[in-house]
A and B are shown apart, each in its own frame.
Chain A
Amino acid sequence: MRRQFKQTIMDLAAADQRIVLVFGDVSVYLFREFKDKYPDRFYNMGICENTLISVAAGLSSQGLIPFVHTITPFITERSFEQIKLDMCYNQFGGNIVSCGASFDYAWDGATHHCYTDLAVLRLLPDIEVTQPGSKRELDALVRDQYDNGKATYFRLSDHPHDVDIPVAEFGRGVVLMDAGSDVTVMTAGPILGNVAEACKELDVNLVYFHTIKPIDRKLISSFRKTRIFVIHDAFGLFEAVCEVPNITASYYGLGDTFYDCYGTLVQIRKKVGLDVESIREFVSRQMKKS
């Protein structure tokens, strides 16, 4: 997905001289073509995430369009107040593009994991929060939203799903399966791969989101007569779903703990219960309770 990010930026930057990249010493080699082509618009500013956001906000205040990019926990959790005040409160918007998602850096331990970013960022006024699950979604969402003047968060992962969904439309959820079931599974981002595989032979409705804020409340509401299960490898989607009135929803995913077990993304997902078999077992169990 990072390569797609680079390709999308290369395309956009050719036509839009306002684009400036502010990187935190991550993906620098990947973007060497951009750096060579636009040396005045590429800044590997160093490992100083608070300042990356503040500087990006300052660039934005003067009409430029910054893309800030580094690893998820550092640019979101560490820089939360800079995003809140410098970008949102001051309305000096910009694009925040993280890499690493929840457990892409599984082997690096809890310091490099991040699953609160979507949940905390969505609470800020004047921000948009997206979790593209595939390269196509990323490309479409970035092209749609990069110059909207707002703080916009794009959460990248190196493990996209390969589910074929319609071209992503910002702010709109997607119904992937409508079985008329009284059980609806809702999910977001790359974990869709496991969720879709787990549900493919089950008689359930499956709804997918790449935009967490604004959440597609109308779509969620249309499933209010069903029991909704949010299956997600992060926090944020469930809370957004629960804000829709008159629905019954519960969460299946992460616990109140650190996942300090190293290994790989696949291994952590299995430990959490977000592998295909565990998800299928969970959903099947809920269906039997009907």
Chain B
Amino acid sequence: MIPTCRRTREHILDISHSSGHGHIPTCFSIVEILHSVYITIRHDPRNPQWEQRDIFILSKGHAALAHYVVLAQFGYFDIETVYSFGSFMADFGCHANRFKVPAIEASTGSLGHGIGLAVGMALAFKIKKLPREVYVLIGDGESNEGSVWEAIMVAANLKLSNLAVIYDNNMSHSRGLQIHNPAERFEAFGCRVSTVNGHDINALSKELTKNGSTVRVIVAETKKGHGCRTLVDNHYEWHRKSPSDAELQMLKRELDEETVQADNYGLSRR
């Protein structure tokens, strides 16, 4: 884990600790994915509504806290504002509201919705002949929803080459309805599929920048709670839990143990 991603996770822990909210393990599984997305896509934190920007949608909306922290690190807003997380009348809810937070392109929360919206947005750019791209991050647990596969079928049928679906394979699905061999499934649905280490920013960024003739699916192999041994080993217990004072210190120590100093992605200032 590079220092920038350690800082993301530390903020997530601190905000969860102070607010009493947060799905920490599912947030930790997508930290590198989010950084890869925002170093890859065309966007402008000084002008979130820039008309030529690419679109990113967090379809697994319960990881909103990770999204907020990364957006703050990329300069969309001050990280201090995110400490209002989940409080009454706050802008930063446990699931994001697109009218309240810059760079949130769709309000998500109920699973299996963001991907359908993303398909519609990608189709709109095709119809309007705009060179904009759409990226959507879905969860493996979320992919229990039939609407995910409907949307994938439609995207493949329309050959939406401007759509990239990132599948966070953090083994959430293992609690209930299991999805074995996701890459084969997406391939069978007509997508161009690649599988990468979802905690390797270099590998993720490389995949995100590839072009193709149809919808791309990037199966990101991740771990729930990545960065803290305790969370990885006990992610069921930590699914919705916020750390106590002592647990916060312990988890931060574990983050330190997992952190390397090398940062080759131009993220060190964040």
> A residues touching B (Cβ–Cβ < 8 Å)?
20, 40-41, 43, 45-46, 48, 50-51, 53-64, 66, 81-82, 85-86, 89-92
Contact = CB atoms under 8 A, between A and B. Distances in A.
Contact of B113 (A20, A61, A66, A85): A85
A85 B157 CA distance: 25
B124 A51 contact: no
Given A50-B116, A57-B120, A63-B124, 10 more contacts: A46-B157, A54-B147, A59-B120, A59-B127, A61-B105, A62-B120, A64-B127, A90-B107, A91-B99, A92-B117
B120 A54 contact: yes
A88 B110 CA distance: 14
B119 interface: yes
A86 B61 CA distance: 13
Contacts of B189: none
B123 interface: yes
A55 B123 contact: yes
B121 A45 contact: no
A54 B123 contact: no
B127 A48 contact: no
B124 A62 contact: yes
B153 interface: yes
Contacts of B157: 46
Contact of A55 (B105, B119, B128): B119
Contacts of B117: 54-55, 57-58, 61, 86, 90, 92
Contacts, number: 96
Contact of A48 (B99, B124, B150): B150
Contacts of A45: 154
Nearest to A64: B124
A46 B118 CA distance: 17
Interface in B87-103: 98-99
B106 interface: yes
B13 interface: no
B127 A20 contact: yes
A51 B61 CA distance: 18
B125 to A, nearest CB: 7
Nearest to A94: B120
In this complex, which of B105, B107, B154 has the most chain A Cβ atoms within 10 angstroms of its Cβ?
B154
A58 B123 contact: yes
Contacts of A55: 116-117, 119-120, 123, 151, 154
29 contacts: A20-B127, A41-B127, A43-B123, A46-B153, A46-B154, A46-B157, A50-B116, A50-B146, A54-B115, A55-B119, A55-B151, A55-B154, A57-B120, A58-B120, A58-B122, A59-B127, A61-B105, A61-B124, A62-B120, A62-B121, A62-B128, A64-B124, A82-B147, A85-B110, A86-B106, A90-B98, A90-B106, A91-B99, A92-B106
A59 B153 CA distance: 17
Nearest to B120: A58
Contacts of B127: 20, 40-41, 59, 64
Contacts of A58: 116-124
Contacts of A51: 116, 119, 147, 150-151, 154
Nearest to A81: B110
In this complex, which of B107, B118, B123 has the most chain A Cβ atoms within 10 angstroms of its Cβ?
B123
Contacts of A43: 123, 158
A66 B123 CA distance: 12
Nearest to B158: A43
Interface in B142-156: 146-147, 150-151, 153-154
Contacts of B110: 81, 85
Given A54-B147, A62-B128, A90-B98, A48 B154 contact: yes
B55 to A, nearest CB: 9
Contact of B119 (A54, A66, A81): A54
Contacts of B98: 90
Nearest to B152: A51
